């Protein structure tokens, strides 16, 4: 079981259903959410602030990431998250969840060492059973 999962998606229904499925699958004791890549980066920056509420919390071990979001999409998030600024999170794994499975996107995802898979939305019990075998 993972201590914490972060869901990054701009659709509130996807976030709500994702949290529900993850809770039922007993794959994680905590689930946090972000509505876009910029919000997710700020979430991680808060862990590094001394005396912040987040600095005392458990860091996510796995991220489920949507690609197409306003403000900052998944690719831009991965570009930023893979820089030295976020090197404290090198152990955090990412699974891209997308509504389209474009072979070019799947190939592009392989350039990011933290990305362990590229799966089709939505999160399901079957996806989570599979995830348990790869993490």
Q: Where are the beta strands (DSSP E) in 45-121?
A: 62-65, 93-98, 115-120
d(CA 89, CA 82): 9
pLDDT digits (tens, 9 = 90+) for 17-73: 999 999 999 999 899 999 999 999 999 998 877 765 655 578 999 999 999 999 999
Answer with the residue of higher pLDDT: 75 or 90: 75
Q: How high is the mean pLDDT of the chain?
A: 92
Give the per-residue pLDDT at 101. Answer: 79
User: Would the pTM of this model clear 0.75, i.e. be above it?
Assistant: yes
Give the per-residue pLDDT at 29. Answer: 85
Within 8 A by CB and 6+ apart from 117, the residues are 95, 96, 131, 134
């Amino acid at each position: 079981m993972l201590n914490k999962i972060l869901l990054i998606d701009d659709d509130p229904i996807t976030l709500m259903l994702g949290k529900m499925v993850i809770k039922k699958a007993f794959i994680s004791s905590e689930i946090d959410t972000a509505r876009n890549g910029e919000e997710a980066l700020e979430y991680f920056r808060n862990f590094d602030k001394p005396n912040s509420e987040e600095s005392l919390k458990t860091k996510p071990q796995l991220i489920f990431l949507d690609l197409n979001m306003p403000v900052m999409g998944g690719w831009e998030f991965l570009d930023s998250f893979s820089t030295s600024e976020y090197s404290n999170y090198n152990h955090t794994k990412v699974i891209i969840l997308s509504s389209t499975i474009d072979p070019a996107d799947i190939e592009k995802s392989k350039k990011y060492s933290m990305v362990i898979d590229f799966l089709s939305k939505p999160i399901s019990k079957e996806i989570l059973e599979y995830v348990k075998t790869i993490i």
